[in-house]
A = this chain, B = another copy of it.
């Protein structure tokens, strides 16, 4: 069950195995396994090539003309494709922009403005720091109160307990960055709507890893990053989704020229662009968008359902190896064992995780440490193989013994 033969059998049966060749090879011979694609996905060969073309042919040769010829439409064009391929979002609702933090600020302010008279924002005390920090600062600036759900792995009942007629918005992560637990996006969204409030979903750890169905579930707002499972590159621009039923009314406070109805009209006052484009502020980051475009294109080719199926299989494989080799050494599994509730990584806990993580990285097992005692094993179905995972867990066993 944990043999090398089994690993090879799984790799041989893997429909997505060939996608690994589409990535820039890891030339560092010290790397045993890259299991941190949920922090930074690996670069696609196509991204490197497209960057060269962009510099030489678009920026270098067409110069300023490239804005009208190609670049101005990219935030919406790539957003639409990302929506189609990964988010279950019809065109015109998703746009590539800024960082996740800035997108979250914009959507949270927009959500609050759509619920005047309500003065509470709900989030989870185990949510990612940026989310918690932004909920607190937006609440402070609006004179709102934060209502905390305690402890992560949020269920609809937890949300029900703290939402009511004063709730303006509920800000939650679809997949927990520590445990990988998948929240019930459908059930929670329904419940929040029943209470008259709006949802802001952080999809950082789900986009490109598990299918997200924003339209079908009537989600209001969502944000996410592109540098994890979409492999778009370090600090690549984020994305933001606003359901079309809010387009007539929604606004955001960072009213730069790119979100105005007539960007080059130099109008006297700000008139927001129709639809999702009003979510933009400054000049779109063209170089950063190359990686997003290529990452989304590769995902379209692979198909999110096949990606998800392999993520589940990789997760099971890590659990089998961990149960056999690591649990006897004092590790515990912090991620859900039920496939349907586990996202694209598996977190192992160990009392000495911080030191051990450093040792593992030094020995080429590239995982990441999350306080207080979690070792996250990131599983990127387009690049991670079963033999690679086995070698990594074997090395963990050796180094932790």
Contacts and interface: CB of A to CB of B under 8 A. Distances in A.
Interface in A235-291: 235-238, 253-258, 260, 264-270, 281-291
Contact of A61 (B26, B56, B138, B141): B26
A329 interface: no
Nearest to A371: B266
Contacts of A282: 98-102, 130, 235, 238
B51 A34 contact: no
A28 B235 CA distance: 32
Interface in A102-154: 102, 104-105, 125, 128-130, 132-134, 136-138, 141
Contacts of A40: 59, 63-64, 67
Nearest to A272: B133
Contact size range, A = 35 or more
Contacts of A361: 65
A283 B100 contact: yes
A22 interface: no
A141 B27 CA distance: 52
A80 interface: no
Nearest to A100: B282
A220 interface: no
A160 interface: no
A282 B31 CA distance: 28
A271 to B, nearest CB: 9
A71 interface: yes
Nearest to A271: B133
A133 B236 contact: no
B28 A234 contact: no
Interface of A: 24-28, 31, 34, 36, 39-40, 42-43, 47-48, 51-52, 55-56, 59-67, 71, 98-102, 104-105, 125, 128-130, 132-134, 136-138, 141, 225, 227, 233-238, 253-258, 260, 264-270, 281-291, 361, 366, 368, 370-371
Given A100-B256, A136-B255, A235-B286, 7 more contacts: A27-B60, A40-B67, A99-B281, A129-B257, A137-B254, A137-B270, A287-B291
A-B residue pairs, 4 tightest by C-beta? A99-B282, A101-B256, A101-B282, A234-B286
